[in-house]
């Protein structure tokens, strides 16, 4: 703020810098989970056919809430 930034600009910078790793981590985690499902299905004799949409939707909520409170 001493260099002329307003409070709104500081809040935007902190939230953007705080949420970027969270969004990237969620995207990579979702991709990794789906890719892991394919790997398990390919290399093991386990039939993994179900993708639980509730699990995919509800699991990131604590992460997003922790990032929100940290920012």
pLDDT band at 68 (very low <50, low <70, confident <90, very high): confident
State residue 15 phi and psi, 5-degree precision.
Answer: -70, -40
Domain count, the chain: 1
Range of the domain at 55: 7-70
On whether residue 2 sits in a domain, the answer given is: no
**d(C-alpha 71, C-alpha 14), whole Å:** 6
How do residues 8-66 score in pLDDT, each as one tens digit?
Answer: 888 888 888 888 998 999 899 888 888 887 787 777 776 666 667 787 778 888 988 98
Residue 56 pLDDT? 77
On whether residue 30 sits in a domain, the answer given is: yes
Residue 28 pLDDT? 92
On whether residue 66 sits in a domain, the answer given is: yes
Largest CA distance in the chain: 62
On whether residue 41 sits in a domain, the answer given is: yes
């Amino acid at each position: 703020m001493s260099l002329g930034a307003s409070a709104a600009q500081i809040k935007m910078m902190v939230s953007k810098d705080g949420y970027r790793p969270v969004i990237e981590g969620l995207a990579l985690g979702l991709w990794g989970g789906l890719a892991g499902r394919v790997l398990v299905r390919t290399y093991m004799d386990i039939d993994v056919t179900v993708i639980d949409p509730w699990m995919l939707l509800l699991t990131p909520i604590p992460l997003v809430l922790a990032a929100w409170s940290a920012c």
